[in-house]
Amino acid sequence: MSLTAKGNAMQIESKYHVSREQIAAEEAEIEAARTDPQKFAPLYDRYYERILGFVYQRVESRDDACDVTAQVFIAALENIGKYKAQGVPFSAWLFRIAVNELSRMYRRAKVRQAISIDDTQVEDILHELGEENTSVTDARLMKALQQLGPEEVMLIEMRFFEKRPFKEVCDILAISETAAKARVYRLLERLKTIYTSLA
Amino acid sequence: MDKYTIKRNREPLTPEDVRKGKDFGSFMNAYAVRKKPFYTKNWFLSSLSVAALAAGIITMNIKNAEQPVFPLQSAFISPPLNGIDIADTVFTVKPGQGGNFFSDNGSFITVPANAFLDSAGKTVDGNVELHYRELPDPASAFLAGIPMTYDSAGARYHFRWNGMMEIYAFCNGKPLKADPQHPVLVSLPAEKEQMQYGTYYLDTIQKAWTYKGRNDWNFAALVSDTSGAAGLPVKQDAGNDQLLPPRKANRSRHSFAIKFDPQEFPELAIYKGVRFEVDETKTPYRGSDAKVKWEDAVVTKNRNADTYTITFTRGVLEKSYVAYPVVGETDYAAAKKLYEEKYSEYLQGTRNGAVPHFALSPGARAVFTSDSCFAQALALHNAHSGTNEHAMYMRAFTVSDFGIWMAGVPQNLPQGATTSLSLKDGRTKKELVTNRVYLVEKGTNALFTYDAAGLADFTYDPAQENSIWAVTADGKPAVFYPGDFKTLGTSEKKTGITMRVPAQKISNAAQAMTVLGS
């Protein structure tokens, strides 16, 4: 993945779907890192930027993003012996750790949860809710987002702001595609209800 | 204070930001100096026994990497077992055309043209992904994490159901709404049950099931013109090429052996030793008739029934009996086998386009737009359930909103015995901490849900074959099987029961269902 600017927004260029050969090569790197932590370097180099970008979208500052990202990779290296390759990209496992690490940090109030959103994304989500983008609807949407739970915000971010494919969302959240789609569906309904109640 | 800091139009990270934190050498230093917990140090590990390691270290060493992101109990609909869910089927629909879709078990989804609306309320153009799955029984509802309770007037009820399904639509990954003007119709095979069911929709905003009206036993789709009983396939070109399932003779009933023309009655001619057994509910048998030397007997097939009328004559004397064709006990097995072969050929013919005529009930005719639709649904249903039925009882749902629909009836908790339960984890023999416990009665399609606090007054019907299901803190199924239930008393004092937890990893819904005993 790379982080590119579209307007002022951070967008995901999805490189989630990797070939079997790539997965096999990566598994060899993972195997090597299990016995020698120094051999974690290629994995670290490959995924650092993606994880940093993911975390940055969800915390208030660059420093917080760097701290949490470091914790994510430390947790990954400590647990790499437990990683089981099951056809799911290694990146999904790292993102899962990142989500858990963020949740832990939020819970302990070590960092504050941020929602990074740009004008294009506001317009997109208002469109999903069947609304025009005006200053009034924009402000109402911001209030509605405040009423969602942390996990609901995460799902909105992954699916609608970062436009991650369902497959990746499922792998990160360790849920089935059915469950992910159903959750997204219900979440939009809930957001719409909250949004409407604020009118 | 706001819960979240909203960052609008945020500056993206620069390459410099990335470079500053990315240095692997610095990372390894941080990794090395990170204070290791004492319980991972070698001196500590070596001082403990294996048992202590298992009990202590594993518990302490649980890393967030191994835990699901969202606490499974937090979501309203949340599959309780890690990574296990009921799979769905995805149909691709051209929204301008709609279409008919079958699931593997014979469920039938009718999608009219322009059935989908986008978030702005406009009809969609692109291909639509229709996600569909069924939750027919307690195990599937449990594994899918569907709440099966219903609160009404301050009382809690538990659903018994006969048909439940979930349906969602997406276009380019975006969820769609149902257009109430062009609703999708879903008909699913259901058990033949006389109980009155209501139609319920799971409102995930209100987090409650909502009653939508009566769900009648919509129709019995019969494969012949018979009026009530399971019927027979009848080919369109009249009644001379029918297939009739054999019926075993009952020795206690009167029957006649009559020669008939095999050209006229091919459906009878394929069986050996056919006799006609009197239907005494229609025509009581009179013993004196057996003493008459009848000169002739005429066999005629009765319309809309699988009976025949036998009319005996002698001069002006005439006597008629309504009778079923039957096969003697010794010939019955061969006749049944033959029938199954012929019926299989017939279904194959149906699949190949040789569509027979079906006499469907009006309800069925409203759903199945053509005979071939019904033939296909029936064939799929038979193949899926390993049956050879000629009728299919179905419940239909008009999908005004996408989501979960059910034909259900709220029930009270079973009664008969009460005890105060406490659960133990069969692996550790320690208390099993869980939020909910489910009671399942074999033969009752219901999921009785107890909150952990309600276990002090756990009621059940000892006359039933009961099971208890729960989920351990590490996301495994825990089961108290019917055999174990026999040991359960009715003491008001706490009764500890040991829940069996499988040692093997459960990796799919089928395995989970086996563990649940379903």
Give the DSSP per-residue string, B351-416: HTT-PPB----HHHHHH-SSHHHHHHHHHHHHHHHT---SEEEEEEEEESSSEEEEEEEEEPPP-S
pLDDT of residue A7: 33
How many CB contacts within 8 angstroms connect chain A with chain B?
A: 178
What pLDDT, in 10s, does the model give residues B356-373?
A: 455 566 667 777 777 777
User: A61-75, B406-420, B432-446, B478-492: which range is least confident on average?
Assistant: B478-492
Q: How confident is the model at residue B230 (pLDDT cuts 50, 70, 90)?
A: very low
The 10 Å Cβ neighbour count of residue A196 is: 12
Element (H, E) at B96: none
Q: How confident is the model at residue B420 (pLDDT cuts 50, 70, 90)?
A: confident
Instruction: Indicate yes or no: CB of A119 within 8 angstroms of CB of B27.
Output: no
Instruction: Indicate yes or no: CB of A181 within 8 angstroms of CB of B170.
Output: yes
pLDDT of residue B368: 75
**Among partner residues B11, B24, B119, which is closest to A129 by beta-carbon distance?**
B119
The interface residues of chain B toward chain A in range 258-287, judged by CB-CB distance below 8 A, are none
Rg (CA), chain B: 31
Of residues B66 and B508, more confidence is placed in B508
Q: How confident is the model at residue B231 (pLDDT cuts 50, 70, 90)?
A: very low
With a cut of 90, say whether residue B389 has pLDDT above it: no
Q: What is the average per-residue pLDDT within B329-353?
A: 73
pLDDT of residue B54: 35
B54: amino acid identity, one letter: A
Instruction: Indicate yes or no: CB of A182 within 8 angstroms of CB of B17.
Output: no
Question: In this structure, are strands B174-175 and B155-171 parallel, antiparallel, or unpaired?
Answer: antiparallel
**What are the chain B neighbours of A118 within 8 Å (beta carbons)?**
8-10
Strand ranges, E, within B153-290: 155-171, 174-175, 177-178, 184-189, 197-203, 208-215, 219-222, 255-256, 274-278
Instruction: Indicate yes or no: CB of B119 within 8 angstroms of CB of A186.
Output: no
User: Which residues, in sequence order, are CB contacts of B327 under 8 Å at separation 6+?
Assistant: B246, B247, B248, B249, B271, B272, B273, B274, B275, B335
Q: What percent of chain B shows pLDDT beyond 70?
A: 80
Residue B502 three-state SS: coil
Instruction: Indicate yes or no: CB of A178 within 8 angstroms of CB of B88.
Output: yes
User: Which residues, in sequence order, are CB contacts of B131 under 8 Å at separation 6+?
Assistant: A178, A181, B88, B89, B90, B166, B167, B168, B169, B170
Q: What is the average per-residue pLDDT within B416-440?
A: 89
> Positive or negative, the Cα torsion across A191, A195, A196, A198?
positive
**Among partner residues B7, B17, B18, which is closest to A115 by beta-carbon distance?**
B7
Q: How confident is the model at residue B106 (pLDDT cuts 50, 70, 90)?
A: confident
DSSP class of B38? G
pLDDT of residue A196: 92
B318: amino acid identity, one letter: E
Q: What is the average per-residue pLDDT within B237-247?
A: 55
Question: CA–CA distance from B507 to each of A86, B82, B126, B502 (Å)?
Answer: 11, 9, 35, 12
CA torsion angle B113 B118 B123 B125 (round to 10): -80
Token pair belonging to B352 = 């190949």
pLDDT of residue A3: 33
In whole angstroms, give the CA distance from residue B439 to residue B413: 9
Of residues B143 and B23, more confidence is placed in B143
pLDDT of residue B219: 54
Flag whether residue B41 sits within 8 Å of chain A, measured between CB atoms: no
What pLDDT, in 10s, does the model give residues B282-330?
A: 888 888 888 888 888 888 887 656 788 888 888 778 888 999 899 988 8
The 10 Å Cβ neighbour count of residue B419 is: 19
Residue B125 three-state SS: coil
**Among partner residues A10, A96, A185, which is closest to B69 by beta-carbon distance?**
A96
With a cut of 80, say whether residue B410 has pLDDT above it: yes
Contact B417, B484 (CB under 8 A): no
Token pair belonging to B362 = 């009006």
With a cut of 50, say whether residue B49 has pLDDT above it: no
pLDDT of residue B183: 92
Question: CA–CA distance from B94 to each of B98, B99, B113, B184 (Å)?
Answer: 6, 8, 8, 13
3-state helix, strand, coil in chain A (%, to 5): 70, 5, 25
Q: Return the residue matching tokens 């992904």.
A: B129
Residue B89 three-state SS: strand
Mean pLDDT value across chain A:
83
ipTM of the complex: 0.84
**Among partner residues A56, A77, A101, which is closest to B64 by beta-carbon distance?**
A101
Token pair belonging to A81 = 């012996």
CA torsion angle B223 B224 B226 B230 (round to 10): -30
Contact B418, B427 (CB under 8 A): no
Which of B5, B69, B73 is the mutation pick for testing A, counting most A CBs within 10 A?
Answer: B69
With a cut of 50, say whether residue B67 has pLDDT above it: no
pLDDT of residue B59: 30
User: Which residues, in sequence order, are CB contacts of A98 under 8 Å at separation 6+?
Assistant: A51, A54, A55, A68, A69, A72
The interface residues of chain B toward chain A in range 90-119, judged by CB-CB distance below 8 A, are 119
**What are the chain A neighbours of B121 within 8 Å (beta carbons)?**
130
Shortest alpha-carbon distance between residue B498 and chain A (Å): 29
Residue of B nearest to A186 (CA): B204
Q: What percent of chain B shows pLDDT beyond 90?
A: 24
Residue B418 three-state SS: strand
What pLDDT, in 10s, does the model give residues B194-222?
A: 677 889 999 887 788 998 888 765 554 54
**Among partner residues B30, B65, B70, which is closest to A76 by beta-carbon distance?**
B65
pLDDT of residue A175: 78
pLDDT of residue A6: 33
B369: amino acid identity, one letter: T
Which of A29, A176, A177 is the mutation pick for testing B, counting most B CBs within 10 A?
Answer: A176
Question: CA–CA distance from B444 to each of B37, B342, B417, B418, B470 (Å)?
Answer: 52, 35, 17, 19, 18
In whole angstroms, give the CA distance from residue B101 to residue B91: 7
Which of B2, B13, B82 is the mutation pick for testing A, counting most A CBs within 10 A?
Answer: B13
A105: amino acid identity, one letter: M
In whole angstroms, give the CA distance from residue B140 to residue B432: 23
B193: amino acid identity, one letter: E
Highest mean pLDDT among B136-145, B266-275, B467-476, B485-494: B136-145
Token pair belonging to A186 = 């219900």
* Residue of B141, B183, B197, B189 lying closest to B166 (CA atoms): B141
Flag whether residue B194 sits within 8 Å of chain A, measured between CB atoms: no
What pLDDT, in 10s, does the model give residues B146-189?
A: 999 998 767 788 999 999 999 999 988 788 899 989 999 998 88
Mean pLDDT value across chain B:
78
DSSP class of B350? H
**Among partner residues A8, A127, A193, which is closest to B205 by beta-carbon distance?**
A193
pLDDT of residue B349: 58
| A160-177 CB burial, b ≥16 within 10 A, e <16 | bbbebbbbbbbbbbbbbb
With a cut of 90, say whether residue B118 has pLDDT above it: no
Contact A88, A113 (CB under 8 A): no
Token pair belonging to A138 = 């924009």
Contact B93, B99 (CB under 8 A): yes
pLDDT of residue B65: 36
Rg (CA), chain A: 18
- Tell me the pLDDT of chain A (199 aa) as tens digits: 333 333 333 333 344 455 667 777 888 899 999 989 999 999 999 999 999 999 999 999 998 999 999 999 998 998 888 787 766 678 888 998 998 889 888 877 778 899 999 998 999 899 888 888 899 999 999 999 999 988 889 889 998 888 888 888 888 887 777 778 888 888 888 899 999 999 8
pLDDT of residue A143: 94
With a cut of 90, say whether residue B518 has pLDDT above it: no
